[in-house]
Chains A and B, each alone.
Chain A
Amino acid sequence: MNEALLNALTVFVLAILCGFAVISKVPATLHTPLMSGANSIHGIVLVGAMFIAVEATTPVSQLLSLIAVAFATMNVVGGYVVTDRMLQMFRKKPTTPPAPKSDASES
C-alpha cells in the first residue's frame, strides 16, 4: 500500500467512527429528517462529478458526466430543501393557540 492510500483509509475509518458517534445520539423523532439530511450530504459526490465533467473529452465520457452532474445536483438541492421543509415543522410555534378557523370546523 502506498502512503496516499493509507492516508485515505485512515480518514475513511475515522469518518465512519465519527458518523457512529454523532448519529447514535439522535432521538427517534428526528430519524426521518436525519435520514434525509444524511441523504443530502452524500450529494457531495457532485464535487467528484464536476472533476470528471471538466476532463471529459470523449462523447461517452461527456454523456456519463452530464448525467452524473445532474443526478448529484438533484441529490444536493432536493435533499436539503426537503429536509428543511421537514424541519420547519419542528420549530417552536407561537404560544397563542391556533384559532379554530380551519376549514374542518366549517363543515
Chain B
Amino acid sequence: MDFQTLDSIVRLIWLAAAGLFVLGLMRMNSPATARNGNLMSAAGMTVAIIATAVLLLARPAGESGTSGFNTIGWVIVLVGIALGGGLGLYAARTVKMTAMPQLVSLFNAVGGGAAALIAIDDYLKLTTVPVAQVNVATVLDIVIGSITFTGSLIASGKLMGRIPGKPILIPGGRLVTVALAAVVVIGAVYLWAGNVSVPVMGLILLASLIFGVTMTLPIGGADMPVVISLLNSFTGTAVAMAGFVLNNVVLIIAGALVGASGAILTKLMADAMNRSVLNIMIGGFGGGDAAAGPVGAEGGSVREIGVDDAAIQLAYAQHVIVVPGYGLAVAQAQHAVRELAELLEARGVDVKYAIHPVAGRMPGHMNVLLAEANVPYPQLKEMDDINPEFERADVALVIGANDVTNPAARRAGTPVSGMPILDVDHAKSIVVIKRSMGKGYAGIDNELYTNPKTGMLFADAKDGLASLVSAVKAL
C-alpha cells in the first residue's frame, strides 16, 4: 500500500473517531446509555491515536519537512504516553468521588497546556513569514491554552482547599487584568500583522499565563463549577485552534464539539444561579468586600436540638425532604442518609431529596454521590419541582448544605442575592445537621439557622446520621 492510500485511510479513521465522539456524547443523554456512550467515545479516541501512530511510522522521509524515522521523537512519544497515562490512570482510579471536580479541572488544565505547547512549538519552528491561517490560530491557541492552563490549576487548587476559596483580590485588581489583556491583544495584533518575533510571543504567553491566574483568583469557590465549565470550553477551543495550526481535521472537530458543550453547560449553570457568566467572571462572589457580609442578626439565637427529638420528628412525619449539600459529600455520608431514608420509608414516611443545581461542587455532582449510595432516581427532585413541596413537608432535613438554603438570597444587597435557593424555610419544621456555625462558601451567616422553626443538630454529617438511624430504630 502506498503512502497516499494509507493517508486517506487514516483520515477516514479520524472521521470515524469524530463520529464516535458525537455519538458518544449523544448517548450520554440518558443514564441508561451514558456509560456505553463514554466507552464509544473512548474507542474513537483509541483508534484515532493508533491510526496516527501508524501514519507517522509509515510516513516517508521528506514528507512535510520530516527527515525520516526520528528515534528520539518516538522515544518522546512513548515516554510521554507512559508518564501521562500512568499519572492519569493512577489519579482517576484513586480519587475520591468528592474530590472529582478538582481532578476534572486538573485534566482540563493539562489538556489546555498541551494545546498551548503545540502552538508554541509550531511558532518557534517558523522561519519565514507565516501564512495568515497559521498565524492567527497559533496566537489564539497560545493565548487560550495558557489561560485555561493556569486558570484550571487555580480552580483546582481552590476546590482542593490549597488556595483559599474566598475571593482573593489582587492589589491593583482590575487594572492588572486589563493591562494583561491589553498586552495580549496588542501583541497578538502585532504578530497577526505579519511580524515574526519570538520575544513578543513570549510576552503574550507570559501575560496569558498570569491572566489565567488573575482571572480565577478573585472568583469565589461557590462559582468554581461555572469557571471550570467555562475553562473546559476554552480548552476545547484551544484544541480546535491547534487543529488549525497543524491543519488536522479531527482536532478541529473534537475541539469545537467540546467548546460548544462547555459553553452550553456554563450558561446552564450560570442560569441556575440566576447570574450571567460575565457577572461571575467580573465580580468575585461576595464582592471581596468584607463589609457586604454581616446582614442577618450575627448573634441571633440558635435553637439546638437533640438526636432523640430530631428522630421523633422525622419518624412521625408524613413528608420529609432531605436537603443534601457538600458537607454530606465531604463526610462520605451518602450511604448513611440512604439508610435513614429507607428506615423512615419503612415507617410509612414519604422521603424525597431536594437537589440544588449547584449542590456539591459541580452540576449534578450530588446526583452522582447519591447514585453511588443506591438512592433511587425517582426520589431525587430538582429545585423547581421540589420548591412548591416544602410547604407540605413536615420536616426538612438539611445535611451540610448552607448557602443554597439561605433565605437572605431573596433580598437584595447580600452576596447571595438573586441566587435561586431551596425554599427550606417554608417547611413546617427544619432540622439542620451541621458541624459548627461555620459559614458557607459565600462567607455569610445563614438566616435559616436563626429561624425559630429550625433545630440545629451539631454533628459531623455521618455521625449525626448514624445516631439518627439508631435513635429511629429504638423508637
Contacts and interface: CB of A to CB of B under 8 A. Distances in A.
Interface in A43-74: 43-57, 60-62, 64-74
B45 interface: yes
B70 A54 contact: yes
Interface string A23-50: 1111111111111111111111111111
B81 A29 contact: no
Contacts of B74: 53-54
A78 B114 CA distance: 15
A88 to B, nearest CB: 7
A16 B37 CA distance: 19
Given A37-B25, A79-B88, A71 B114 contact: yes
B150 interface: no
Interface string A5-19: 100100111011111
Interface string B91-117: 111010100110110011011011101
Nearest to A21: B260
Interface in B24-63: 24-26, 28-32, 34-35, 37-39, 41-42, 45, 48-49, 52-53, 56
A67 B114 CA distance: 7
A50 B232 CA distance: 22
Contacts of B26: 22, 25
A45 B115 contact: yes
Interface in B252-271: 252-262, 264-265, 268-269
Interface stretch (B161-169, B297-305, B307-315, B364-372): B364-372
A25 B181 CA distance: 35
B359 to A, nearest CB: 11
A9 to B, nearest CB: 9
B232 A38 contact: yes
Contacts, number: 397
B88 A78 contact: yes
Q: Which of A26, A42, A47, A68 has the most chain B CB atoms closer than 10 A to its own CB?
A: A42
A75 B254 CA distance: 14
B80 A49 contact: yes
Contact of A19 (B84, B256, B462, B469): B256
Contacts of B97: 85-86
B363 interface: yes
A78 B65 CA distance: 33
Contacts of B382: 28
Contacts of A13: 256
B210 interface: no
A52 B63 CA distance: 14
A14 B204 CA distance: 30
B290 interface: no
Contact of A78 (B87, B339, B364): B87
Contacts of A62: 72-73, 76
B76 A82 contact: no
A73 B80 contact: yes
A4 B254 CA distance: 18
B41 A64 contact: no
Nearest to B100: A82
B405 interface: no
A69 B77 contact: yes
B249 A74 contact: no
B244 to A, nearest CB: 6
A80 B329 CA distance: 23
B179 interface: no
A105 B73 CA distance: 58
Contacts of A81: 88-89, 92-93
A39 B469 contact: no
A51 B10 CA distance: 14
A68 B77 CA distance: 9
Contacts of B31: 29-30, 90
Contacts of B121: 52, 56, 61, 64-65, 68
Interface string A89-107: 1111100011010101101
A21 to B, nearest CB: 9
Given A47-B49, A49-B117, A32 B73 contact: no
Given A42-B235, A49-B117, A69-B77, 5 more contacts: A19-B25, A30-B31, A35-B265, A67-B80, A100-B342
14 contacts: A13-B256, A15-B18, A16-B256, A25-B29, A34-B261, A40-B42, A42-B111, A45-B242, A49-B118, A54-B77, A60-B124, A70-B87, A75-B111, A76-B85
Interface of A: 1-2, 4-5, 8, 11-13, 15-20, 22-57, 60-62, 64-93, 97-98, 100, 102, 104-105, 107
A-B pairs, top 9 by smallest CB distance, nearest first, are A19-B260, A69-B80, A78-B88, A73-B84, A15-B256, A70-B84, A81-B92, A74-B84, A74-B88
